[in-house]
């Protein structure tokens, strides 16, 4: 095998690696309790309670007991009790006391509560609105910019 072929082969082999790195699904940072809670909810709870916590997950049909919607039930006043319930388990719902700490379960409910609120996504991205002139096509224009015109000399 020639060195050139070897290089091409190596480039091919490493290609999928780059592609994967580009489309990585994991967020680079966890900025809030709500996001952490969202991850936990989407791992443990949505199958029964539904993606939007409305009690309509795909596993709900298989259960004898109706799965309650979690929308609107969690508030500052009730959150602590709900955390206890979810960690203890209830009816067909398994208890999560071993897999989810109280602190993390609280985050799950903070996420569920956030579903009830109007979405307020922070728009602190400075790249949102590019400003200033673009590089091309904006050269200053004007009359009198043609140097060939006055080659004859003046009066």
Please give the residue ranges that form the binding site for ligand HEC (CB under 6 A): 44-45, 47-49, 59, 63, 65, 67-68, 70, 73, 82, 85-86, 90-93, 96, 100, 108
Strand pairing partners for 62?
Answer: none
Q: How far is the CB of 62 from ligand HEC (least distance, A)?
A: 9
Question: 106-131 b/e with 16+ CB inside 10 Å = b?
Answer: bbbbbbbbbbeeeeeeeeeeeeeeee
* Sign of the four-CA dihedral 48, 51, 55, 58: negative
Instruction: Select 3 or 105, whichever has its Cβ closest to ligand HEC.
Output: 105
Instruction: Select 21 or 77, whichever has its Cβ closest to ligand HEC.
Output: 77
User: Residue 109 phi/psi, 5° resolution?
Assistant: -75, -30
Q: How far is the CB of 31 from ligand HEC (least distance, A)?
A: 21
Q: How far is the CB of 104 from ligand HEC (least distance, A)?
A: 9
Instruction: Select 30 or 43, whichever has its Cβ closest to ligand HEC.
Output: 43
Instruction: Select 44 or 51, whichever has its Cβ closest to ligand HEC.
Output: 44
Q: How far is the CB of 111 from ligand HEC (least distance, A)?
A: 9
Q: Under a CB-based contact definition with an 8 Å cutoff, are residues 76 and 116 in contact?
A: no
Report how far residue 143's alpha carbon sits from residue 145's, in angstroms, rounded to the nearest whole number. Answer: 5
């Amino acid at each position: 095998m020639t060195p050139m072929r070897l290089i091409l082969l190596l480039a091919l082999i490493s290609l999928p690696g780059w592609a994967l790195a580009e489309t990585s699904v994991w967020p680079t940072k966890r900025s809030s309790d709500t996001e952490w809670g969202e991850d936990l909810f989407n791992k443990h709870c949505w199958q029964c309670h539904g993606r939007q916590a409305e009690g309509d997950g795909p596993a709900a049909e298989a259960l004898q007991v109706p799965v309650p919607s979690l929308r609107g039930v969690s508030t500052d006043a009730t959150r602590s009790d709900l955390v206890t319930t979810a960690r203890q388990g209830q009816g067909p719902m398994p208890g999560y006391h071993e897999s989810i700490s109280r602190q993390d379960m609280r985050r799950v409910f903070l996420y569920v509560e956030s579903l009830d609120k109007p979405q307020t996504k922070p728009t602190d991205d400075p790249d949102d609105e590019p400003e200033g002139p673009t590089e091309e096509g904006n050269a200053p224009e004007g009359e009198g910019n043609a140097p060939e015109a006055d080659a004859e000399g003046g009066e």
